[in-house]
């Protein structure tokens, strides 16, 4: 991490495909402004999996960090010199940070786990012991990583669970169950439901259990953001669940990225205000 930004250009960016929807630039630029890192910049670039290696090889010494979104969270691991335990366990990196002692070295991080943990906590789900996760890709593995050994995860998928996701859950010492899409009876006893798939892919929401006789309301977290309430969020509200916001996950994974890339604690209030403004602008454009 490089902690100073005076006189020397420092460049960061978010890469992925598609990338036009990303709100990461608003969050990171707000952080740089609040931290008076006037020589830092943050860009957005369309990069797919096949183009990642060439794009990464083309980075010059001004580049400090990258945020990675789909479909780059898995391919980015191969570019790293060092992989943190969380990134290794999930097989996914949403952050690459250049080393200070060795500028040729890059470290792969997964800050999605921090974002998910914080979003669930803010909605009242602290230290969950059981989850139902819709999907089994990279973000699903980040959700699984919020559970401590001995916890229980139910994976709701259309066909079959990705082997690497099943393997991660077993290696973490979790009890693993699988159900088909729309088999919502499995959600009756979990602490939280985390959906990692497009909202239109989540069927049969009439079957989501009604919350009764629970000491603490379970939580639904739909990781998508920016398009208003999703059908899953609306169904959860109607049935007595607490709803965690995908924007909270986005915000808090970004605060951790800012800390890793700049060496400064992230200015949460400034980043939160920038996120609210960006969401309002997006809604006004529709």
- 179 an active-site residue? no
Query: Which of 24, 211, 48, 224 lies closest to 134 in space, CA to CA?
Result: 224
Distance of CA 123 to the CA centre of its chain: 16
- Which residue's entry shows tokens 């630029």? 29
Could you give the C-alpha distances from 59 to 11, 66, 131, 254, in angstroms and in order? 10, 11, 39, 22
Cα 112 from Cα 131, distance rounded (Å): 16
Cα 223 from Cα 3, distance rounded (Å): 30
Contact 14, 41 (CB under 8 A): no
For residue 12, the SS3 value is strand
**φ, ψ for residue 86 (rounded to 5)?**
-65, -45
Q: Considering 10, 73, 109, 162, which one is annotated as catalytic?
A: 73
Cα 139 from Cα 229, distance rounded (Å): 20
**φ, ψ for residue 276 (rounded to 5)?**
-60, -45
Cα 8 from Cα 11, distance rounded (Å): 10
Q: Which residues are catalytic?
A: 73
């Amino acid at each position: 991490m490089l902690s100073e930004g005076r006189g020397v250009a420092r460049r960061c960016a978010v890469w992925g495909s598609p990338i036009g929807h990303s709100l990461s630039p608003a969050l990171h630029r707000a952080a740089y402004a609040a931290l008076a890192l006037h020589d830092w910049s943050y860009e957005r670039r369309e990069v797919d999996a096949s183009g990642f290696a060439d794009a990464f090889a083309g980075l010059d010494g001004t580049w400090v960090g990258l945020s990675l979104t789909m479909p780059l969270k898995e391919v980015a691991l191969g570019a790293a010199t060092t992989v943190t335990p969380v990134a290794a366990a999930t097989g996914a990196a949403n952050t690459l940070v250049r080393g200070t002692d060795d500028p040729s070295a890059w470290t792969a991080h997964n800050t999605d786990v921090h974002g998910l943990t914080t979003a669930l906590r803010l909605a009242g789900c602290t230290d969950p012991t059981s989850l139902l996760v819709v999907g089994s890709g990279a973000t699903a593995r980040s959700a699984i990583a919020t559970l401590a050994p001995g916890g229980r995860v139910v994976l709701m998928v259309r066909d079959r669970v990705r082997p690497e996701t099943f393997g991660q859950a077993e290696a973490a010492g979790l009890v693993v169950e699988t159900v088909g899409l729309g088999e919502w009876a499995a959600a009756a006893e979990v602490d939280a439901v985390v959906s990692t798939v497009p909202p239109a892919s989540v069927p049969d929401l009439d079957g989501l259990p009604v919350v009764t006789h629970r000491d603490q309301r379970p939580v639904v977290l739909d990781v998508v953001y920016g398009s208003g309430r999703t059908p899953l969020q609306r169904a959860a509200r109607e049935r007595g669940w607490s709803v965690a916001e995908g924007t909270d996950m986005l915000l808090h994974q970004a605060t951790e990225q800012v800390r890793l890339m700049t060496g400064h604690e992230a200015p949460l209030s400034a980043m939160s205000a920038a996120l609210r403004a960006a969401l309002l602008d997006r809604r006004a454009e529709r």
